[in-house]
Amino acid sequence: MKTIEHWINGSPTAGTSPETAPVFNPATGQEQARVALASAADVDTAVTAATAAFETWSESSLTQRTQVMFAFRQLLVEHEEELGRIISAEHGKTVDDARGEITRGREVVEFACGLGDVLKGSFSDQVSRGVDVHNFRQPLGVVAGITPFNFPAMVPLWMHPIAIATGNTFILKPSERDPSAANFVAELYKRAGLPDGVFNVVHGGKEAVDAILTHSGVEAVSFVGSTPIARYVHETATAHGKRVQALGGAKNHAVVLPDADLEFAANHITAGAYGSAGERCMAVSVAVAVGNAADALVEILERKAGEVRVGPGDVPGIEMGPLVTKASQERVENAVGTAATQGATVVVDGRGLKVDGHEDGFFTGPSLLDHVTTEMDAYKEELFGPVLAVVRVDSLDEAIGVINANPYGNGTALFTGSGEAARRFQRNVKVGMIGVNVPVPVPMSYYSFGGWKDSLIGDSPIHGPEGIRFYTRPKVVTTRWPQPKQQVTAGFNFPTSS
pLDDT at 498 (0 to 100): 64
pLDDT of residue 214: 98
In whole numbers, what is the pLDDT of the chain averaged over residues? Answer: 97
Q: Which of 281, 287, 372, 399 is catalytic?
A: 281
Q: For the segment 180-219, what is each residue's pLDDT rounded down to a tens digit?
A: 999 999 999 999 999 999 999 999 999 999 999 999 999 9
Across 132-148, average pLDDT: 98
Confidence of residue 490 (pLDDT cuts 50, 70, 90): confident
**Under 8 Å CB-to-CB from 120, ≥6 apart: which residues?**
none
pLDDT grade, residue 483 (50/70/90)? confident
Tell me: pLDDT of 485 over 80: no
Report residue 9's pLDDT band, with 50, 70 and 90 as the boundaries: very high
- Residue 225 scores a pLDDT above 70: yes
Average pLDDT over residues 237-254: 98
Q: Tell me what the mean pLDDT of segment 235-241 comes to.
A: 98
- How high is the pLDDT of residue 372? 98
Does 323 have pLDDT greater than 90?
A: yes
Name the pLDDT band for 453 (thresholds 50, 70, 90).
very high
Q: Is the pLDDT of residue 486 over 80?
A: no
Q: How confident is the model at residue 492 (pLDDT cuts 50, 70, 90)?
A: confident
* Nearest residue to 332 (alpha-carbon basis) of 367, 301, 358, 361: 367
Res 179 pLDDT > 80: yes
Pairwise CA distance, residues 421 & 388, whole Å: 24
Predicted confidence band at 489 (pLDDT cuts at 50, 70, 90)?
A: confident
> Is 281 one of the annotated active-site residues of the chain?
yes
Is 374's pLDDT higher than 70?
Answer: yes
pLDDT score at 80:
98
290 has pLDDT over 70: yes
Q: What confidence score (pLDDT) does residue 244 get? A: 98
pTM of this structure: 0.96
Mean pLDDT to the nearest integer, 102-109: 98
How confident is the model at residue 420, as a pLDDT?
Answer: 98
